[in-house]
Amino acid sequence: MLSLLINNEFSRLRSVLLGIAHSNGPVPSIEDCYDPSSLQHVRSGTYPVEADMSFEMAAVLAVFKKYEVQVFHPSIIENCNQIFVRDIAFVIEDKFIKSNILPERDQEINALESLFKLIPPENIIVFPEECHVEGGDVIVCGKYIFIGVYSAPDYSDYITARTNLNAAKAIQQLFPEKIIKTFELRKSNSDSLENALHLDCCFQPIGLGKALIHSNGFLNRSDYDWLIDFFGKDNVFEVNKEEMTQMICNVFSISDTVVISEQNFTRLNYWLVAQGFTVEKVPYSEISKQGGLLRCSTLPLIRD
């Protein structure tokens, strides 16, 4: 059995679910794109091909092997994009929470049946249907759980709006001792410069008290200011719009001093090293064209 344990984003990683790019399916039609980044690359003919994405994911797998991390994968569903496992579930403390995701992606959770057999059934949580949530919007930070939401009346107009206040309330009920802090995210179905698909697209805490933040990802300036006050301005790497669309906030921590980052994030990687981090650089620019990066394609199961 797996003894799930997640209390933050950066304690030493011991076990993780990593997505797969095998049998990824054809290039989606414009009508089937779920985010503006994918839409842009379908229109321009630059949508990533399976071989390139498989190569990039193999580079991440090699880093996990280097650090002796136990790795699980979904079983393969033919012609299905199964890269972004963070969308379909997330772990808080010892609870494995299934996301209420877009109906078109329901089958992806069924590919985790072998993993579910290792988790006590009482620790697998399914929220009511009205609680919309995806793992990219949920960030555990000690006694806090940060949740990206969109609560405006036009919620249903945005395919990029993935998490609602009902889910935040359900998470609070499940973890009454935690402090839930919600952040209203900026949404656009067509402009990647004006869309924070998930909270981890515009914010992520890493080790050593540091964080990566893009101010325009938040609808309310007060949410951004709260995070700056929480971490301290000197501990924050400020991300610009173009960097946000490249998913520069979406790195992944193996420990409080080791971060996996895209090899072309030159400005960020230099800053990380200057702050005392070891940076494991991998190619991931093709996967980023689908609006996700390293945190999106990983689901931590156990951290020290």
Return the CATH number at 118. Answer: 3.75.10.10
Do the domain assignments include residue 8?
no
pLDDT, mean of residues 248-263: 98
Global pTM reads 0.96
For residue 31, pLDDT beyond 80: yes
Do the domain assignments include residue 103?
yes
User: 10 Å Cβ neighbour count for 259?
Assistant: 27
- Check the CA dihedral 172-178-183-187 and report its sign: negative
pLDDT, mean of residues 210-228: 98
Do the domain assignments include residue 149?
no
CB-count exposure of residue 128 (10 Å: 0-12, 13-18, 19+) = exposed
Q: Beta strands 278-282 and 258-262: pairing type?
A: parallel
Do the domain assignments include residue 98?
yes
**26 falls in which pLDDT band (50, 70, 90)?**
confident
CA gap 94, 57 in Å, rounded: 27
Q: Beta strands 211-213 and 236-238: pairing type?
A: parallel
Do the domain assignments include residue 187?
no
Helix (H) or strand (E) holding 167: helix 165-174
Q: pLDDT value at position 68?
A: 98
SS3 content of the chain, % helix, strand, coil (to 5): 35, 25, 40
| Contact (Cβ atoms closer than 8 angstroms) between residue 119 and residue 153 | no
**39 falls in which pLDDT band (50, 70, 90)?**
confident
Write the pLDDT tens digit of every residue in 131-151.
999 999 999 999 999 999 999
If one counts the domains in the chain, the total is 1
Do the domain assignments include residue 144?
no
Q: What is the mean pLDDT of the chain?
A: 96
CA gap 91, 247 in Å, rounded: 22
Do the domain assignments include residue 181?
no
Q: Which domain holds residue 54?
A: 13-126+198-303
**13: which strand partners?**
303
Do the domain assignments include residue 234?
yes
